[in-house]
Amino acid sequence: MLRSFKQWVKRTPHVWWTLLLPYVIAAYVVPEHVVTGAYSSTAVALDGAIPFFAPAVLFYVAWFPFLVFCGLWLLLEDGTDFKRFMLALALNMTLAGIVYVLWPNGQDLRPDLSQPTNVFEWVLGGLYGLDTNTNVLPSLHVACALSTVACIWDTPTVRHRSTKLLLSLLAVLIGVSTVFVKQHAVLDLAAGLVLGAAAAWLSFRLLLRTPRRKRRDREAERWS
């Protein structure tokens, strides 16, 4: 089994990009424990017009399996876009972390869920306890979802346009859910779109795709 694994790694050198994962996770978690003092509010008048909708937590938590599923698919099927995926995640976390440190921000839109009335509020109350209301602009839920969708649309290994459209719709619902569960304000969502687009653009510019014919030859050699 170990020999087979070594052969797989040799055929799939982009697997080494998974070594970025500890950094990505740390960059996501550390600001929650470092930037906890006074902060500037990102809420605007429009946020008051958006209702609290607890069932949207289903899409909010879908962010995690969405990233895992897309990441595993690219790892197994498309080395170039997997590297772009990992680089974009690292860029999102790094750039967002810089913003959080230089401009501590947060929002006070959360309702009191100390006495939940349904299972959605119970789940959301637990998430509130795990994830503070600080370090919200830009929204990493939105930024990472957008960067991931960019990689999914680029990869030729997802052959059905309907699949790409469904994943894109899920990414949109994930982004929208952040304001309905009152974890983010509208400005956080907008800044997340800008960050995600910038991270995707940089990852695509830094990691150009191998010309199709050369790539096909490499794939044939990889599995021969």
Give the pLDDT of residue 106: 94
Helix (H, G, I), strand (E, B) or coil at 112: coil
Does the pLDDT value for residue 64 go beyond 90? yes
Q: Report whether the peptide linkage leading into residue 65 is cis, meaning its omega lies within 30 degrees of zero.
A: no
Q: Is the pTM of this model over 0.85?
A: yes
Does the pLDDT value for residue 161 go beyond 70? yes
The rounded distance, in Å, linking the Cα atoms of 105 and 137 is 7
pLDDT above 70: percentage of residues in the chain: 88
User: Taking a C-beta distance cutoff of 8 angstroms, is the pair 105, 139 a contact?
Assistant: no
pLDDT tens-digit map of 19-41: 999 999 998 888 877 777 789 99
More confident residue, 33 or 145: 145
The rounded distance, in Å, linking the Cα atoms of 191 and 75 is 28
Tell me the domain boundaries of the chain. 51-222
Taken in order 100, 102, 108, 113, the sign of the CA dihedral is positive
Does the pLDDT value for residue 200 go beyond 70? yes
Does the pLDDT value for residue 221 go beyond 90? no
Structure tokens at 178: 């952040």
Full DSSP string of 114-129:
SS-SSHHHHHHHHHHH
Give the pLDDT of residue 4: 64
Does the pLDDT value for residue 76 go beyond 90? yes
Structure tokens at 34: 């470092």
Helix (H, G, I), strand (E, B) or coil at 105: strand
For residue 187, name the pLDDT band (cuts at 50, 70, 90). Answer: very high
For residue 15, name the pLDDT band (cuts at 50, 70, 90). Answer: confident
Does the pLDDT value for residue 140 go beyond 50? yes
Give the pLDDT of residue 32: 79
Least confident of 4-13, 90-99, 156-165: 4-13
